[in-house]
Structure 1
Amino acid sequence: MKKQVDTIVGKAAILIIDVTKGSLLPPDKTPIPIFDAQTAVNNIKEVVDVARTVDIPIIFFQELHRREMVDFGRELDGVEDVHCLEGSEDVEFIDYLKPMDGEFSIGKRRYSCFFATDLNILLKGLKVETLIICGFLTDVCVHYTSADAHQHDYYVRIMHDCVRGSSPEAHQASLNAIKYLQTASETNSKEIIGLLEKMTVKA
């Protein structure tokens, strides 16, 4: 029987993927509806509030596309319509959940937080081994980021109550696929908060 590894191995960082104002728009006002997004955002906020009291890096991500639409590539070949244009309110961080001094923010043109960004350089500089992942969409950016994290040899931990997908079915299928790669990937906000509370409090 395979041995289950610890929830956090070595130093951890929290990745908050595409949690922006557009995430909370009603279905008739966004090209990318997310089911039950507000619940996930509330849970993420609770984790972040505790994380800010201890020594753990927090990295926020925004999917951003130029208004000239020259960097979408094949992204509009699927179900999604034009989205996440630079300068639009949709891509702004939520007022109560945005980077503070000492935290990190990375824009990305593609689904994976690793693709054509400096995330891996940042993580190596921070000496991070475990990525605690939350945000949207489970079946798109969270999934692709987790797969790339796995291939870069990071431990992946997904807070299941802090991610949501394009549908409950797609959400669950992606969580299953990530767990296939790393059997210890499943966690939740309550478990992570408990672990954070045991860490050294910032001076």
Structure 2
Amino acid sequence: MKIEERSALLVIDIQQEDFMEMNESNMDDPRWECIRNAKRVLDVFRARKLPVIQIKEVHRPDMVDFGRELDGSEGIHCMENSPYTDYAKLTYPVEGEYLISKRRYSAFFGTDLEILLKGLHVDTLYLIGGFTDVCVHYTAVDAHQNDYHIRVVKDAVAGSSREAHEYALKAIQYLQRDALITTADVEAADS
């Protein structure tokens, strides 16, 4: 496997809200495997100087932008006035990375992501973050429908449950047979 030159990394919703309990004393905890892998993938893209696009979900305090989102299993989350809505510390954006705030599951919906990708001449998107079955899945589907090649780093994404994670990965692979890769694949492509 080779990382294509016209690639970009989408860091999807890796925010403090999900990693607030992570600290220096528990970094090796198995529950942080996804974010540790995400950091490894991020390091490869940073070293190669390929575009990194950090995406976070944000909602207004009066909640007018939640839409139907609260009809499902999720409660109120990612409020713009909460410090937990910020990017997670381990994968925090660095200078030169692109930042996108979204109000819906797909990073394409109601954002300038498509304009940014066209300006960067990107044709392949690598996806890390969460949730596999929600924001990663809907972003991957929209990327596919906009004719991008997608690579979901399956050990650098996490789902709302193990079962939902696995089903979402199967659905993504149904769209593009070469879509699923691992952190080790990304690192090996860089060597």
Q: TM-score, normalised by structure 1?
A: 0.86
* 2:123 matched residue in structure 1: 129
Q: C-alpha offsets along residues 103-162 of structure 1, whole Å, 9 cap, x if unaligned?
A: 111000000000000001100100001000010000000000000000000000000000
1:61 Cα offset (Å): 0.5
Counterpart of 2:172 (choices 171, 178, 181) is 178
Aligned pair in 2 of structure 1 residues 55, 147: CA closer, same or farther (>3 Å)?
same
Mapped partners of 2:4, 2:40: distance in 1: 22
In structure 2, what residue type is equivalent to 1:121?
A: I
Is the 8 Å Cα contact of residues 9 and 155 (structure 1) preserved in structure 2?
no
* 1:191 matched residue in structure 2: 185
Specify the SS of the correspondent of 2:48: coil
* 2:17 matched residue in structure 1: 22
Instruction: Identify unmatched segments of 5+ residues in structure 2.
Output: 22-29
Counterpart of 2:78 (choices 84, 96, 104) is 84
* 2:62 matched residue in structure 1: 68
1:55 Cα offset (Å): 2.4
Specify the SS of the correspondent of 1:95: coil
* 2:148 matched residue in structure 1: 154
* 1:99 matched residue in structure 2: 93
Q: C-alpha offsets along residues 16-49 of structure 1, whole Å, 9 cap, x if unaligned?
A: 00001111257xxxxxxxxx65110001111212
* 1:33 matched residue in structure 2: none
Is the 8 Å Cα contact of residues 37 and 164 (structure 1) preserved in structure 2?
no
* 2:46 matched residue in structure 1: 52
Which segment drifts farther, 38-47 or 169-178? 38-47
Q: Percent identity?
A: 46
Is the 8 Å Cα contact of residues 3 and 186 (structure 2) preserved in structure 1?
no
Is the 8 Å Cα contact of residues 3 and 190 (structure 2) preserved in structure 1?
no
Aligned pair in 2 of structure 1 residues 37, 182: CA closer, same or farther (>3 Å)?
farther
Aligned pair in 2 of structure 1 residues 186, 7: CA closer, same or farther (>3 Å)?
farther
Is the 8 Å Cα contact of residues 44 and 186 (structure 2) preserved in structure 1?
no
Higher helix share: 2
Is the 8 Å Cα contact of residues 24 and 37 (structure 1) preserved in structure 2?
no
Aligned residues: 183
Specify the SS of the correspondent of 2:61: coil
Mapped partners of 2:130, 2:101: distance in 1: 14
Mapped partners of 2:5, 2:47: distance in 1: 19
Q: Which runs of 4+ in 1 moved over 2 A?
A: 6-10
* 1:143 matched residue in structure 2: 137
